[in-house]
Amino acid sequence: MNIKIYAKPFDPWAEIQAYQHSAQDMAGKFGATSIFIGTMRDFNEGDDVKGMTLEHYPGMTEKQLAKIVAEASQQWPVIDVLVLHRVGDILPNEPIVLVAVWTSHRGDAFDASRYIMEALKSRAPFWKKELLKSQAERWLVKNTDGYLAGSS
Amino acid sequence: MNIKIYAKPFDPWAEIQAYQHSAQDMAGKFGATSIFIGTMRDFNEGDDVKGMTLEHYPGMTEKQLAKIVAEASQQWPVIDVLVLHRVGDILPNEPIVLVAVWTSHRGDAFDASRYIMEALKSRAPFWKKELLKSQAERWLVKNTDGYLAGSS
Amino acid sequence: MSIKVRYFASLKENIGRSEDNLEFFGLATVADVWRAANPDKVLPDNTLAAVNMDYVELNGVVNDGDEVAFFPPVTGG
Amino acid sequence: MSIKVRYFASLKENIGRSEDNLEFFGLATVADVWRAANPDKVLPDNTLAAVNMDYVELNGVVNDGDEVAFFPPVTGG
């Protein structure tokens, strides 16, 4: 299980691959991997977005993410979990968040990764401030609910 | 949208990355990517498994997968989909299936990727024959239901 | 009319053939195709059938040139 | 007792400070901490509070050395 906060862009594919290779005890044991990647878009709520600054509460972020991963591990038979999250200045098309869950069976991988993402969205202390093409800045006020409304 | 059947091992991370880069119209537009990867395990139903042969019905496989992806695209606002599936001789730890779905919002990515995986499991004409460490061969009889039973 | 029949996986092994080519006169259903191709063998329970690579029921009608396939429940993914 | 108070994101900008260090005598709740640090400002609706990096209710009691944080709803992921 690994949780990392990145102040610089990360390559999601290299990260997952490296983690999967480094976790030798996983080899041959996992049958299912569910990965979610959230990426910065160049538009939001009808406006062109130039960039974003992601603020976080160092320490609490890691503590809450560890709790969330522990909750998921109690509810589903999870073999391993990787959670990466960006902070700082982010440009469109850069990955913001990565959640990868390894399990034996696919239902558990889907359920656990979705649980972690929803919990992260509602409880991990991150805040996004968008810089619009118009040069205006705005704090995002609320994460929509991915479970109920099917939106992010 | 791309569906590929591989007779040789594929690198899931290189494939997704290459596909994402090649689909230029996606850049800046997608906010969510949900990926599922099914990997061959070295045990099943209590037995050590040495390898597996995956038979398929060429032509029908592609036709059914295209239908499934089209159904998902009708139900959720999907930006792009990549589906890869191995056939032939497979060793433990090799990827068997990859489903990647790009959307604007995370709920749609989770829903669509799971729908595609479940439909693939029940309708795409693939059949697994396991080679056990004991040298015995056995056809898998039934895919368990990932949605209801939470297993693969 | 000419019908191509294909078998896959354990069903193919049990029958000992991967395909048949049959000639029919008049109307025939998928079940008729099985009976003509395997007169001494009851269609195993849970067998799936496809005509031209689409799933069909056993009472589906076949046409000249159709490819009919029989196979066990799928186990991919 | 000594309490460290931290503010984040839009709340930090609105208040114009990122932290306060307060001294209390006797029992204090999270709400008391806010009032002591921001006597002229009502706690904005939907503000979240944490003590020592765990979420708490506003009537939660604070202890010497605690780090109390106030911030708007989170928008990560």
Nearest CA-CA partner of A29 in B48, C77, B53, B146 = B48
In angstroms, the separation between the Cα of residue A86 and the nearest Cα of chain B is 14
Q: How confident is the model at residue B47 (pLDDT cuts 50, 70, 90)?
A: confident
Looking at chain D, list the stretches that DSSP marks H as alpha helix, in order from N- to C-terminal side.
Answer: 9-15, 30-37
**Amino acid D57: pLDDT:** 97
Residues of chain A scoring pLDDT < 70: 144-152
Check CB contact under 8 Å for B143 and C50.
no
Given a contact cutoff of 8 angstroms between Cβ atoms, the answer to whether B113 and B99 are in contact is yes
Model ipTM value: 0.93
**Amino acid A148: pLDDT:** 39
- Residue type, position A44, single letter: N
Interface contact B59, partner C, CB < 8 A: yes
Nearest CB neighbour to A85, from listed D8, D71, D76: D76
C-alpha B63/C-alpha D49 separation (Å) is: 54
Q: Which of B16, B20, B35 to mutate to test the interface with A (most CBs of A within 10 A)?
A: B35
pLDDT for residue C44 is more than 60: yes
Residues of A within 8 A of B114 (CB-CB) are: 110
Q: How far is CA D62 from CA A59, D31, D38, D48, D73, in A?
A: 19, 10, 17, 15, 22
**Amino acid A45: pLDDT:** 82
> Could you tell me which CATH number the domain at C2-71 has?
3.10.20.30
3-state secondary structure B42-84: CEECCEEEEEEEEEECCCHHHHHHHHHHHHHHHHCCEEEEEEE
**What average pLDDT score do residues D4-12 get?**
98
| Chains D and C in direct contact, meaning 3 or more beta-carbon pairs closer than 8 angstroms | no
Q: How confident is the model at residue D9 (pLDDT cuts 50, 70, 90)?
A: very high
Nearest CB neighbour to B107, from listed A42, A106, A149: A149
Domains and CATH numbers, chain A: 2-22+29-139 (3.90.1170.40)
Nearest CA-CA partner of B146 in B116, B106, B102 = B116
Residue C64 tokens read as 């000249």
Q: Where are the domains of chain C?
A: 2-71
pTM of the model: 0.94
